[in-house]
């Protein structure tokens, strides 16, 4: 029964492949020889097959030949590439802009040149290292998927696992002397949470910082620029800050000095300050009373004051809301306070109290305004009730007078 | 000066004399003081008509005040209502009273209509009073429908789209009717313009005309007496004078309801339960519709009934059949004084009574299903 099913499957595959390409002959033999996870069985899910390409486009050979000798005798026969030949094997088409334009004009054609600059490519060419990643390590061999589709190994949601397949394997990576906790760290990071838990495709995967085909660790000096691709304002402020020079002189890994690299935690206000748990204390000891520790404390105090003002405003606003008052204007203003808080936190990267404190004060003034306006609404709430009480008394008094009048005119005479 | 039993109440003062010399009020006061209102166990029903009038007066007054700040248009309607309730002094109160009063006016009008129906007060010679009354209720519902869109908020937009969409199902003229109502294919700023014109000019003009006729008929014919009074000897019938006794009672109820309105407006400015009108978010024609789109409570029975009909009944669209049945039912209801021939002879009609009970139960059941069943 199983065999019949396989034969039917092969028959269907033959028919569909025959329509797209002239690979029918390859399948007639290979499908019978191979296991169920062999190339001919996997290939139907491959992007190349879906684009109408068959076996001969990569492997060459005479498709009309009666046997394997006939296939191999063809001039264009390329067979299976050796490990170190894979990049050039794929690049035969993928670096050919004219050819690629016919199938996918939007796909870049610089993968091979980028690969040559990568650590993987360098090790392959210089050290003939057969353990480094080539095209097929990440893209698979016969099941290459469109990176935009969720089942593809290069879809953003799958990239961490794809890289982690080698980089989190201690035995495999032992000889390179690099850490293997990147995947675990990434999963625990704010980026990993956003990408893998929240499925936020805007969050970075490995390739967004390390590049994909040109994969390499971003240099220490360039880290602020790499992070700045997304965190542009923070990066710009940092590059102009006194920390930039100090970090460069001391070979500190720029952003990663405070935020770490793969295990980047959600930043919190507690990170600021020259006393525990502030991480500024790592370099600027509070007891020294240096300019650095004073700046850290000033910034921390300013942010604390803004957060407190925000909370106070929110408490009064919620009270007004609970009383049924219309608070849309105050809610809108509170959003501006939120914005001030974000801006103040962003400007921490200037490491300059004269920049951060005014930002915080601006937000505090807005928060105070929300608090005052919300308090006015609460006053209005009580005024309405008092007004209602007064109006009700007057109307009730009139109603009683009218009732007495009716009683009087309807009182039986005599 | 006519011999008035209550002359001292109105006529014993110089101001009255001043007006009487110029307007000849004696004749009017004399006419009113001779009018009598029957007194029996269901006399309280007589006050619903006056109460409806009271709510309409409140509507007119608060509506005029709202008009001073309201700006029709897709870019200004929502903003102006928001300005009214958040910035204008007592704007929140005026909008709230306007909304509460609108709902209470419809409720009061419905109660008035059903009490008239079940006491058969529509019988000869009051057929025209009934007809004008049904017309007034129809216009009041028109006020509700047209006013619902004016804040141009999310719920109003989608509810109006559904409501006006039903007009499109009318055979032959449906598409034309829909375009006329919306001022185009879709609900847009042009629709606000139309509904605004309808709400503040056309409907008030018709309403005032029709309610004036209704009041003139009531004044000319007086209050209807219960059917069973035919067999009563005159000495067992009890009456009160329309003026001042009935008028004073009416005024007392108006004062009490004014108090109720003030309480509702202050404690529930955005309504309560299913009767609510929070401003919410501005209408976004491209946004996703709210999870639940419901019409005003007084349209719920019709909305729910149409929703429950199958897509097709035989070969006709279900919605079309429903609208046809509602039109026929509404016509039958309006023409009830001419259908119920027994009432003209002061005799009860069991079939008409059952029809009325069916209509009441239908409205209540459909409304409850609309609100309680998901």
Which residues of chain B have a CB within 8 Å of the CB of A394?
none
Q: Structure tokens of A290?
A: 């240096």
How many angstroms away from the CA of A156 is the closest CA of chain B?
A: 29
CB-hemisphere CA count at 13 Å for A257? 21
Helices B127-149 and B189-197: crossing angle, nearest 10°? 150
**Cα gap A59→A68, rounded to integer Å:** 13
Q: Which of A393, A399, A404, A411 to mutate to test the interface with B (most CBs of B within 10 A)?
A: A399
Task: Answer whether residue A15 shows pLDDT above 70.
Answer: no
Q: What pLDDT was estimated at residue A19? A: 41
Q: A298 with A285: CB under 8 angstroms?
A: no
Q: B147: which residues sit within 8 A by CB, 6+ positions away?
A: B102, B195, B199
Contact B249 A399 (CB under 8 A): no
All structural domains of chain B, each given as residue ranges with its CATH number in brackets, are 1-34 (no CATH), 35-234+246-372 (1.20.810.10)
Using CA atoms, how far residue B148 sits from B33, B100, B273, in Å, is 42, 13, 17
- What's the pLDDT at A375? 97
Q: Is the peptide bond before B125 cis (omega within 30 degrees of 0)?
A: yes
Residue of A nearest to B91 (CA): A326
- Which residues of chain B have a CB within 8 Å of the CB of A328? 82, 86, 279
Check residue A251 and give its pLDDT.
Answer: 86
Asked whether residue A207 is domain-assigned, the answer is no
Q: Which helix (H) or strand (E) holds B115?
A: helix B91-118
Q: Is residue A376 assigned to a domain?
A: yes
Cβ neighbors of A326 (< 8 A, separation 6 or more) are A377, B85, B86, B92, B279
CA–CA separation, A101 vs A112, rounded Å?
A: 17
Q: What backbone phi and psi angles, to 5 degrees, belong to B38?
A: -60, 145
Distances (CA, A) of A266 to A287, A321, A361, A393: 28, 31, 24, 58
Residue B233 phi, psi dihedral angles, 5° rounding: -70, 150
Does a structural domain hold residue A380? yes
> What is the percentage of chain A residues whose pLDDT exceeds 70?
93
Q: Contact A399/B245, CB-based, under 8 Å?
A: no
Closest-CA distance, A395 to chain B, in angstroms, reads: 6
Return the bridge partners of B271, or none: B276
Q: Please name the residue that has the structure tokens 């309105």.
A: B261
Alpha-carbon distance of B221 to A157, in angstroms, equals 82
Please name which of A175, A193, A172, A176 lies closest in space to residue A184, comparing C-alpha atoms.
A193
Residue A160 · residue A195 · CB < 8 Å: yes
Which among A86, A85, A68 has a CA at the least distance from the CA of A77? Answer: A68
Among A215-229, B7-21, B137-151, the range with the most confident prediction by mean pLDDT is B137-151
**Which residue of chain A comes nearest to B250, CA vs CA?**
A402
Cα–Cα distance for residue pair A407/B174, rounded to 1 Å: 58
Segment A120-148, tens digit of pLDDT = 999 999 999 999 999 999 999 999 999 88
The closest of B168, B158, B164, B116 to B137, measured between CA atoms, is B116
Between chains, do B263 and A392 touch, taking CB under 8 Å as contact? Answer: yes
* Residues of chain B neighbouring A398 (CB-CB closer than 8 A): 255
Helices B14-23, B25-34: inter-axial angle, 10-degree rounding? 100
Check: CB of residue A327 under 8 Å from CB of residue A320. yes
Regarding pTM above 0.95, the answer is no
Q: For position A412, what pLDDT does the model report?
A: 80
**A144 lies in a domain?**
no
Q: Convert the pLDDT of each residue in A350-394 to its tens digit.
A: 999 999 999 999 999 999 999 999 999 999 999 999 999 999 999
Angstrom distance (rounded) from CA B130 to CA B334 = 8
Radius of gyration of chain A (CA): 35
**Which of A385, A392, A402 has the CB atom closest to B259's CB atom?**
A392
* Predicted pLDDT of residue A3: 54
My answer on whether omega of the bond before A348 falls inside 30° of 0, hence cis, is no
**Residues 6+ away with beta carbon under 8 Å from B115:** B42, B45, B48, B121
Is A216 a domain residue? no
A338 found inside a domain: yes
**3-state SS class at A272:** coil
* Contact status of A403 with chain B (Cβ, < 8 Å): yes
Kindly report the length of chain B: 374
Nearest in space to B192 (alpha carbons), one of B181, B177, B179, B207: B181
Token pair belonging to A124 = 């392959």
Q: Which of A326, A392, A406 sits opposite B86 (nearest CB)?
A: A326
Cβ–Cβ contacts within 10 Å for residue B186, how many?
Answer: 13
Q: How many domains does chain A have?
A: 1
pLDDT in the model for residue B51: 96
Segment B6-25 mean pLDDT:
78
pLDDT reading at A65 higher than 50: yes
A104 or B129, higher pLDDT = B129
What pLDDT, on the 0 to 100 scale, is given for residue B303?
92
E-strand spans in A246-317?
A: none
- Which pLDDT belongs to residue A349? 95
Q: Does A395 touch chain B (CB under 8 A)?
A: yes
Q: What is the DSSP string of A338-402?
A: HHHHHHHHHHGGG--HHHHHHHHHHHHHHHHHHHHHHHHHHHHHHHHHHHHHHHHHHHHHHHHHH
Mutation site for A-interface testing, chosen from B248, B255, B261, B269 by largest number of A Cβ within 10 Å: B255
Select from B86, B245, B258 the Cβ nearest to the Cβ of A410. B245
A369 lies in a domain? Answer: yes
CB contact under 8 A, B259 and A406: no
Residues B335/B115, Cβ–Cβ less than 8 Å: no
What local confidence, expressed as pLDDT, does residue A18 receive? 43
Average pLDDT, chain A: 89
**Predicted pLDDT at B30:** 84
What distance in Å separates the CA atoms of residue B322 and residue B306, rounded to the nearest whole number?
6
Chain B residues within 8 A (CB-CB) of chain A?
A: 6, 9, 82, 85-86, 92-93, 240, 244-245, 248-249, 251-252, 255-256, 258-259, 262-263, 266, 268-270, 279
How far is residue B73's CA from residue B85's CA, in Å, rounded to a whole number?
A: 18
Place of tokens 């929070």: B278
Higher pLDDT, A222 or A114: A114
Q: pLDDT at position B129, please?
A: 96
Contact between B188 and B149 (Cβ < 8 Å): no
- Chain B contact probe: residue of A374, A395, A407 with most B CBs at under 10 A: A395
User: Alpha-carbon distance A394 to A401, whole Å?
Assistant: 11
pLDDT beyond 70 at A24: no
How much is the pLDDT for A67?
A: 79
Residue A70 has pLDDT above 70, yes or no: yes
Average pLDDT, chain B: 91
pLDDT of residue A17: 46
pLDDT of residue A275: 86
pLDDT at A324: 83
- What residues are paired with B276 via a beta bridge? B271
Does residue A326 belong to the interface with chain B, where contact is any CB pair within 8 Å?
yes
| Partners of residue B262 in chain A, C-beta under 8 Å | 388, 391-392, 395
Over residues B337-351, mean pLDDT: 89
CB A25 within 8 A of CB A64: yes
- Name the residue among B9, B256, B266 with its Cβ closest to that of A384: B266
**Pairing of β B312-313 and β B316-317:** antiparallel
Residue A303 structural domain? 286-409
Q: Longest C-alpha distance within chain B, in Å? A: 74
Instruction: Answer yes or no: is A102 within a domain.
Output: no
Q: pLDDT confidence of B217, banded at 50, 70, 90?
A: very high
């Amino acid at each position: 029964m199983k065999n019949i099913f396989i034969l039917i499957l092969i028959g269907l595959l033959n028919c569909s492949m025959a329509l797209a390409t002239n690979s029918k002959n390859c399948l007639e033999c290979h499908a019978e020889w191979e296991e169920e996870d062999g190339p001919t069985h996997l290939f139907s899910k491959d992007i190349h097959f879906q684009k109408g390409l068959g076996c001969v486009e990569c492997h060459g050979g005479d498709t009309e030949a009666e046997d394997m000798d006939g296939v191999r005798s063809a001039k264009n026969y390329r067979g299976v590439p050796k490990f170190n030949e894979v990049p050039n094997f794929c690049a035969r088409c993928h670096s050919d802009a004219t050819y690629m334009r016919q199938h996918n004009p939007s796909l870049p054609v610089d993968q091979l040149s980028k690969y040559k600059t990568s650590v993987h490519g360098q090790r392959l060419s210089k050290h003939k290292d057969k353990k480094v990643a080539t095209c097929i390590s990440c893209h698979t061999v016969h099941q290459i998927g469109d990176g935009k589709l969720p089942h593809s190994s290069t879809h953003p949601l799958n990239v961490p696992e794809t890289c982690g397949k080698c980089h989190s394997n201690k035995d495999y990576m032992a000889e390179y002397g690099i850490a293997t906790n990147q995947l675990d760290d990434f999963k625990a990071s704010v980026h990993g949470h956003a990408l893998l838990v929240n499925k936020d495709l805007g969050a970075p995967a490995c390739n967004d910082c390390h590049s994909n085909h040109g994969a390499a660790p971003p240099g220490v000096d360039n880290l602020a620029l790499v992070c700045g691709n997304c965190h542009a304002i923070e990066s710009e402020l940092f590059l102009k800050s006194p920390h930039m020079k100090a970090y460069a002189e001391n070979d500190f890994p720029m952003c990663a000095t405070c935020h770490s690299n793969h295990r980047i935690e959600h930043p919190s206000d507690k990170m600021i300050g020259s006393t525990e748990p502030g991480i500024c204390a790592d370099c600027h000891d509070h007891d020294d009373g240096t300019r650095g520790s004073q700046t850290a404390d000033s910034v921390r105090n300013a942010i604390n004051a803004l957060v407190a003002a925000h909370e106070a405003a929110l408490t009064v606003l919620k009270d007004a809301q609970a009383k049924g008052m219309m608070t849309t204007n105050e809610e809108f203003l509170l959003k501006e306070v939120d914005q001030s808080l974000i801006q103040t936190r962003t400007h921490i990267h200037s490491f300059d109290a004269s920049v951060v404190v005014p930002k915080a004060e601006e937000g505090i003034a807005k928060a105070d305004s929300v608090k005052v306006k919300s308090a006015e609404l609460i006053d209005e709430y009580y005024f309405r009730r008092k007004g209602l009480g007064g109006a009700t008394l007057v109307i009730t008094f009139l109603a009683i007078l009218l009732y007495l009048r009716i009683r009087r005119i309807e009182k039986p005479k005599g | 000066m006519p011999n008035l039993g209550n002359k001292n109440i109105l006529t014993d003062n110089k101001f009255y004399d001043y007006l009487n010399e110029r307007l000849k009020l004696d004749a009017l006061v004399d006419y009113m003081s001779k009018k009598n209102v029957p007194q029996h166990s269901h006399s309280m029903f007589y006050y619903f008509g006056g109460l409806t009038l009271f709510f309409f007066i409140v509507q007119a007054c608060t509506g005029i005040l709202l008009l001073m700040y309201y700006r029709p248009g897709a870019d200004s309607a929502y903003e102006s209502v928001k300005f009214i309730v958040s910035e204008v002094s007592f704007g929140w109160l005026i909008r709230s009273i306007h909304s509460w009063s609108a709902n209470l006016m419809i409720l009061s009008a419905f109660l008035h209509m059903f009490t008239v129906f079940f006491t058969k007060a529509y019988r000869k010679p009051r057929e025209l009073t009934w007809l004008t009354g049904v017309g007034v209720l129809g216009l009041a519902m028109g006020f509700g429908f047209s006013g619902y869109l004016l804040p141009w908020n999310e719920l109003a937009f989608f509810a109006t789209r559904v409501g006006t969409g039903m007009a499109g199902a009318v055979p032959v003229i449906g598409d034309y009717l829909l375009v006329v109502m919306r001022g185009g294919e879709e609900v847009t700023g042009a629709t606000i313009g139309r509904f605004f014109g309808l709400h503040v000019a056309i409907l008030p003009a018709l309403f005032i005309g029709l309610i004036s006729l209704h009041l003139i008929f009531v004044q000319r014919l007086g209050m209807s007496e219960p059917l069973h009074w035919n067999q009563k000897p005159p000495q067992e019938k009890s009456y009160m004078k329309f003026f001042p006794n009935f008028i004073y009672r009416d005024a007392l109820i108006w004062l009490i309801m004014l108090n109720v309105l003030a309480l509702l407006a202050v404690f529930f400015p955005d309504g309560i339960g299913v009767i609510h009108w929070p401003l919410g978010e501005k209408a976004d024609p491209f946004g996703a519709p709210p999870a639940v789109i419901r019409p005003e409570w007084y349209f719920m029975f019709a909305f729910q009934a149409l929703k429950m009909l199958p897509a097709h009944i035989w070969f006709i669209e279900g919605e079309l059949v429903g609208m046809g049945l509602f039109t026929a039912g509404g016509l039958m209801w309006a023409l009830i004084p001419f259908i119920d021939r027994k009432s003209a002879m002061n005799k009860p009609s069991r079939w008409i009574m059952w029809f009325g009970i069916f209509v009441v139960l239908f409205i209540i059941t459909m409304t409850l299903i609309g609100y309680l069943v998901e």
